[in-house]
Amino acid sequence: MGTQPPPVSKAPPGTLIGRILDETGTAIAGASVIVAQPDGLPHHALTDADGVYRIEHVPPGQYVPAAVAPGFAEAALTGLFGLPKLVTIQSNAVTQAPPLTLRPYRPTPLPGNLAEAVNLRLTAVYTATATFPENAAADVAAYAFDFEGAAVDTLRVYLPRDHPHEVPLPLLFMVYPSPVDNWQDVSVAFASERFAVVAISPSAARGVDAEAHAQDARVALALARSGALGPAVGDNRPMAMGGSFSSAILSRLLRSAGDELTGWVTVGGLANAFTTAHDFYMGRISIPPPFELLIPALGPPNLYPLPFLMFSPVYVAGELPPTMIIHTAADEILRIEQAYELAEAVAAANIPLETYYYEDESHYLGIGADLTDAGREMFYRILDFIERYGEKP
C-alpha cells in the first residue's frame, strides 16, 4: 500500500550547479550529488575534476542537495544552526548552490578489551537441525552483550555438529532482517557446509534505527574475529550476507567496517532508498509492519535527503567489496529494479559482481518444507561465490 505522493511541479524543469569540497577547500572528484523530488525520485550527477556538478531536468521547487564520496561521510547542505539550506529551482533557469563540504568518514572506534567492555555473556547452548542439506546439524551458542545503552541478545554462533571446537573454521557473517532464531534453518544449512556461522538480527531496543543496528553488527563482527566467540570461529575476513531490511544495516556496516569483510551477498536488498521512497509513494510496493510508516517518518526527501542517502549503497559502489546480488521479480517489498540499479553501479565501478535473478514467489532462502528449486540453486550459488572470494582462517 502506498500513500498520496507529495506534489511535484509539472512546470518546465531547471538546472542545479555547484561544487563539492573537502575540509581544506580542495575539490572532490567523483562525488555523488543528489537532489530528490518530494515523491523521492532522485536526480543525480558526479563531480568532475574541479569538484563541479551539474544536475539537469529538476522540477521547479525547493531542494536540499546532498552528497557522498568514497572515504567521505554523507552530508547535506546546511545553513545557520545546522538547519537545511534550501536552493530554489526555477523553470528554464540555472541555479547556483553554495559549496557543500564533505568530511572524512571516521567510525567511532570500538573500545579495547571489547568482550569485557560490552559484557559479552553466553546465554544458551543447544543443538539444531535442518532438513537441507541432508543431515544438516549444528551446535549453537547464544550470546548477549551490552552496547550504547541497549542489551543485544540476538547474537548466535553455529558450528558443524561435533566439530572439534579448538579447530578454526572459515567465518561467515549473517545479518538477518527479523529475529535470528527464525532463520535457524538457514544458519544450520551453511554451518553444515563447514563454516562457523556468526549471526545477528536487530535488537528490539533499537527500533528501526538501522545505523544503531549496524553498529551492533560491527561489535558482533569484531567479537567474532577477536576469538571472543570461541577458537572454532576463524579470524578471517568473512563474507557477509543480509536481505530486505537487514540489507540497510549491512550497507552501513560496509561503510564502517568494509575493510574487515571480503565480500557481501545482498538478498532482496535495498540499493537506493530514494527510488524505494518513490515506489512507496507511487503505490508500487507493499511494506509490512513495523516498517510501513518508516518512509513518511523520514520526512520529505527534497528537504531531508540525508537519511535516504545513508541507506543508498548505489552511490558509493566504488568502495564495495565483491558483490553478489540476489532478487526475485516477485518481490513486492523491494522491487527487482533495486537489484538492477545496484548491479549497474557495481559493474561501472569495476567491482567483482555476480547476480542471480529469478521469478519464484517463495521466501528468500526458504529452507525447510517449502524449499524450491530456485532456493536450492540460490544456496549453492552463494557457496560458489564464497569459495571464489572468501578467505580461510
Domain identity same for 253 and 358: yes
Of 69, 101, 133, the position where a domain reaches its end is: 101
Same domain for 256 and 148?
yes
Report the relative pairing of strands 263-267 and 239-243 from DSSP bridges.
parallel
**168 and 68 fall within a common domain:** no
Rounded to an integer, the average pLDDT of 250-263 is 92
Res 296 pLDDT > 70: yes
Contact (Cβ atoms closer than 8 angstroms) between residue 203 and residue 349: no
- Do residue 124 and residue 147 come from a single domain? yes
pLDDT given at position 260 = 94
Q: Which domain holds residue 324?
A: 114-272+312-389
Q: Are residues 30 and 118 in the same domain?
A: no
User: Rounded CA gap, 154 and 206, in Å?
Assistant: 12
Please give the share of the chain, as a percent, with pLDDT higher than 90: 80
Beta carbons within 8 Å of 97's beta carbon, 6+ residues apart: 16, 17, 18, 65, 77, 87
Strands 196-200 and 171-175: parallel
Please tell me the total count of domains within the chain: 2
Do both 352 and 376 map to the same domain? yes
pLDDT for position 197: 98
Domain co-membership, 221 together with 149:
yes
Same domain for 379 and 256: yes
Q: Give residue 2's pLDDT.
A: 47
Same domain, 125 and 176: yes
Given 38, 73, 101, which residue is the final one in a domain? 101
> What string of DSSP letters covers 74-124?
-EE-B-GGGPBPPEEE-TT-EEEPPPEE--B--PPPPPSSHHHHTT-EEEE
Q: pLDDT tier at 1 (50, 70, 90 boundaries)?
A: very low
Q: Do both 177 and 70 map to the same domain? A: no
pLDDT of 365 > 70? The answer is no
Supply the pLDDT for residue 141: 98
**Within-domain flag for 294:** no
The reply to whether 282 falls in a domain is no
Report the distance separating Cα 241 and Cα 390, nearest Å.
12
Mean per-residue pLDDT, 2-11: 76
CA 336/CA 376 separation, integer angstroms:
20
The pLDDT assigned to 172 comes to 97
What's 212's domain CATH number? 3.40.50.1820
CA max distance for the chain: 71
Show which of 54, 69, 101 is a domain's final residue: 101
Which cell numbers in the block locate residue 120?
559479552
Checking if the pLDDT of 6 tops 80, the result is no
Contacts of 222 (CB under 8 A, 6+ apart): 110, 114, 257, 260
pLDDT digits (tens, 9 = 90+) for 166-216: 899 999 999 999 999 999 999 999 999 999 999 999 988 888 788 899 999
295: three-class secondary structure by DSSP: helix
Between CA 133 and CA 312 the distance in angstroms is: 34
Q: pLDDT-derived band of residue 22, with 50, 70 and 90 as boundaries?
A: very high
